[in-house]
């Protein structure tokens, strides 16, 4: 291999690297400023900061007076000298109005938004700190009051929070002491980990009563006078007007602001419902007592069961079993009907009856043979479904089918599949379940009245039972007559064209189905008894299930409450 070639370092470079002797500083100065490549550099003897560059607009805006330059003009209004500079975009402006101008909204709106958010954060921190300080003060006050002989009252007097003078009033002093005791006790409960919700609610209720007590003393007389004047004023305004001819908007404009607020609060609290007297259904009126009605139904149902078993040609054992089952169910129905009849009679004795008579039965009821040659034996279950929707809807509108005519018709058709579709039911249970599921699904159940579906089933049983034993089908015919009449009136009120055409067709088909059911009832009166008994059986079963569920619910709630109380009690507690 060749030996590596080594080149010698130049002497000049070697001197630079090895010479470490001190050198003299460059003392040469330039007397004048030098301009190099368009940049003005100061002379070496002058200590001056390099100023930032100016935009052409800023250069043009400089006003020179002698040898001194004044600040640039405002870049917003272009007429006043600028006093401030935006820290975000370095814009020169003269006043707050220019800063808030639309041309500068990008910076100003962002600045205000950040300032507000920062203030809110600081406010939340301040409130939390204030609450913590107040909490500590109340706790220390209660601990100190426990150590003081006179308790909270003497401690407050020593701190000059409560005066010792008797002229101030003992009631006011006692009220202040009570407030401090309640607040300190509330702070103590909040600090502890135990659940004392009952005591906390009691303390808050007491504080609210104390706070409202002082206001009521000063405002009772004024409020009474104002309410009397308002009542007289409203009576005078309404006395000369025909309220029936006024629209809702005109009536609303008659009310003052305070009266409108009171009306809205009544709507929210449900107080308006208390002003309307509840309607008593006409189908709850029966001429015979419960015992006579059940005895008659007993005879009729036994006859029906015997006839059915004979035509079916079943063995005697099956016949006896079926008859005994029907009689057992009949006994349950008798108890239910007696109870309902007793409640109706009691309420009739206590209150004045507001029940109306049954609606008139329509005169034009065609014969069943003219409508259908061989009707299905399952029609009776569709009849039950239609009556269920009718009874529930009529109670929901409080029998006000005049002002709520369209609402009543729409609710009936929404709940009854027998009237608004071609569905066929195979049992009473299925017909009732369909109506009940529609009530929940369509949102017609009142949250404050959960027993509406149960009362609708009871209403159908009343309607099927009839007014008396001689006319068991009268109530059914009256119910369908009223439904036909309301549907016909609603149909005539709608226009024949446009969107109302489809609604008119729905009402017409429902009317025809009601007419067909009336024709079926007139020729199948004997089946009303069996349907009534089965409906009372269904009602008694559902009531039994509901009562059992309520009992179970109460038992579970009591057990949970006991477990909660046991968990709150400590088995071992350390004594200080």
In a domain? residue 67? no
Which of 194, 213, 241 delimits the end of a domain? 194
> Of 158-167, 439-448, 540-549, which gets the smallest average pLDDT?
158-167
In a domain? residue 378? yes
Cα 433 to chain centroid distance, Å, stands at 28
Is the pLDDT assigned to residue 26 strictly greater than 70? no
What is the model's pLDDT at position 43? 61
Q: Is the pTM of this model over 0.85?
A: no
The whole-chain average pLDDT of the chain stands at: 74
User: Domain check: are 333 and 465 in the same one?
Assistant: yes
What is the model's pLDDT at position 195? 61
Q: How confident is the model at residue 348 (pLDDT cuts 50, 70, 90)?
A: very low
What is the model's pLDDT at position 517? 92
User: Domain check: are 189 and 297 in the same one?
Assistant: no
In a domain? residue 168? yes
| Per-residue exposure over 245-266, b if at least 16 CB sit within 10 Å of its own CB, e if not | eeeeeeeeeeeeeeeeeeeeee
User: Domain check: are 437 and 319 in the same one?
Assistant: yes
User: Domain check: are 187 and 324 in the same one?
Assistant: no
Q: Phi and psi at residue 160, in whole multiples of 5°? A: 65, 20
User: Domain check: are 173 and 321 in the same one?
Assistant: no
The boundaries of the domain holding residue 117 are: 112-194
Q: Which helix (H) or strand (E) covers residue 547, if one does?
A: helix 527-568
Question: Residue 313, by phi and psi: left (phi above 0), alpha (psi -120 to 50) or beta?
Answer: left
Closest C-alpha to 417, from 439, 442, 434: 434
User: Domain check: are 346 and 470 in the same one?
Assistant: yes
pLDDT by residue (tens digit) across 283-310?
888 776 544 555 555 555 555 445 544 4
Question: For residue 90, what are its two tokens?
Answer: 């370095």
In a domain? residue 44? no
In angstroms, the CA 163 to CA 185 distance is: 23
**535 neighbors 460 (Cβ within 8 angstroms):** yes
In a domain? residue 2? no
User: Domain check: are 392 and 532 in the same one?
Assistant: yes
| Per-residue CA distances from 229 to 217, 220, 237 (Å) | 20, 14, 12
Tell me the residue length of the chain: 576
User: Domain check: are 163 and 296 in the same one?
Assistant: no
Say how many domains are in the chain.
2
What is the model's pLDDT at position 513? 92
User: Domain check: are 171 and 303 in the same one?
Assistant: no
In a domain? residue 453? yes
Which of 139, 168, 194 delimits the end of a domain? 194
Between 556 and 38, the more confident residue is: 556
pLDDT by residue (tens digit) across 58-107?
555 454 444 344 558 899 898 889 888 998 898 889 998 898 888 888 88
Would strands 34-36 and 39-41 be described as parallel, antiparallel, or unpaired? antiparallel
User: Domain check: are 302 and 189 in the same one?
Assistant: no
User: Domain check: are 424 and 548 in the same one?
Assistant: yes
Q: Which residues, other chains included, contact 564 with Cβ-Cβ below 8 Å and sequence gap of 6+?
A: 195
Candidate ranges 143-147, 222-226, 289-293, 329-333; pick with highest mean pLDDT: 143-147
In a domain? residue 302? yes
User: Domain check: are 170 and 309 in the same one?
Assistant: no
Please compute the mean of the pLDDT values over residues 203-217 and round it to a whole number: 68
In 240-315, where does DSSP find H-type helix?
248-254, 257-269, 271-275, 290-312
pLDDT by residue (tens digit) across 148-171?
777 777 777 777 676 666 555 566
What is the model's pLDDT at position 199? 75
């Amino acid at each position: 291999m060749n030996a590596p070639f080594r080149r010698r370092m130049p002497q000049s470079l070697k001197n630079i690297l090895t010479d470490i002797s001190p050198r003299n500083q460059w003392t040469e100065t330039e007397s004048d400023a030098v301009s190099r490549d368009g940049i003005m550099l100061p002379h070496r003897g002058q200590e001056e900061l390099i100023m930032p560059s100016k935009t052409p607009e800023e250069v043009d805006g400089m006003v020179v007076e002698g040898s001194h330059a004044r600040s640039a003009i405002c870049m917003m209004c272009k007429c006043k000298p600028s006093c401030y500079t935006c820290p975000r975009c370095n814009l020169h402006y003269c006043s707050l109005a220019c800063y808030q101008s639309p041309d500068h909204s990008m910076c100003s709106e962002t600045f205000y938004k950040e300032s507000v958010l920062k203030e809110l954060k600081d406010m939340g921190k301040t409130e939390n700190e204030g609450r913590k300080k107040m909490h500590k003060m109340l706790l220390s006050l209660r601990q100190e009051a426990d150590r003081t002989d006179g308790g909270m009252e003497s401690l407050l007097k020593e701190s000059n929070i409560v005066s010792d003078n008797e002229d101030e009033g003992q009631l006011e002093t006692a009220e202040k002491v009570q407030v401090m005791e309640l607040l300190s006790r509330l702070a103590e409960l909040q600090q502890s980990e135990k659940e004392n919700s009952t005591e906390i609610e009691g303390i808050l209720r007491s504080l609210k009563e104390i706070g409202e007590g002082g206001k009521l003393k000063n405002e009772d007389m004024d409020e009474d006078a104002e309410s009397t004047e308002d009542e007289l004023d409203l009576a005078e305004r309404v006395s000369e007007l025909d309220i029936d001819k006024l629209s809702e908007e005109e009536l609303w404009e008659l009310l003052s602001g305070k009266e409108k607020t009171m009306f809205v609060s009544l709507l929210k609290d449900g107080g308006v419902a208390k002003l309307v007297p509840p309607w008593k259904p006409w189908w709850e009126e029966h001429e015979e007592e419960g015992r006579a009605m059940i005895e008659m139904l007993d005879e009729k149902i036994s006859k029906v069961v015997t006839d059915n078993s004979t035509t079916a040609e079943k063995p005697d054992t099956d016949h006896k079993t079926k008859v005994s089952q029907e009689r057992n169910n009949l006994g349950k129905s008798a108890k239910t009907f007696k109870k309902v009849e007793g409640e109706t009679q009691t309420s009739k004795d206590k209150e004045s009856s507001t029940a109306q008579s049954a609606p008139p039965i329509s005169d034009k009821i065609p014969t069943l043979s003219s409508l259908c040659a061989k009707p299905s034996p399952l029609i009776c279950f569709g009849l039950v479904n239609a009556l269920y929707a009718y009874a529930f809807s009529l109670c929901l509108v409080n029998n006000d089918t005049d002002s709520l005519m369209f609402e009543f018709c729409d609710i009936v058709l929404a709940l009854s599949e027998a009237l608004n579709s071609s569905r066929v039911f195979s049992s009473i249970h299925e017909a009732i379940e369909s109506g009940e599921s529609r009530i929940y699904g369509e949102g017609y159940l009142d949250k404050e009245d959960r027993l509406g579906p149960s009362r609708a089933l009871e209403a159908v049983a009343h309607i099927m039972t009839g007014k008396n034993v001689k006319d068991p089908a009268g109530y059914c015919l009256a119910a369908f007559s009223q439904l036909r009449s309301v549907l016909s009136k609603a149909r005539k009120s709608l226009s024949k064209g446009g969107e109302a055409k489809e609604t008119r067709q729905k009402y017409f088909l429902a009317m025809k189905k009601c007419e067909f059911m009336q024709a079926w009832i007139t020729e199948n009166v004997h089946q009303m008894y069996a349907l009534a008994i089965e409906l009372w059986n269904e009602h008694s079963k559902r009531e039994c299930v509901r009562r059992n569920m309520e009992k179970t619910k109460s038992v579970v709630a009591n057990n949970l409450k006991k477990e909660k109380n046991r968990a709150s009690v400590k088995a071992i507690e350390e004594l200080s």
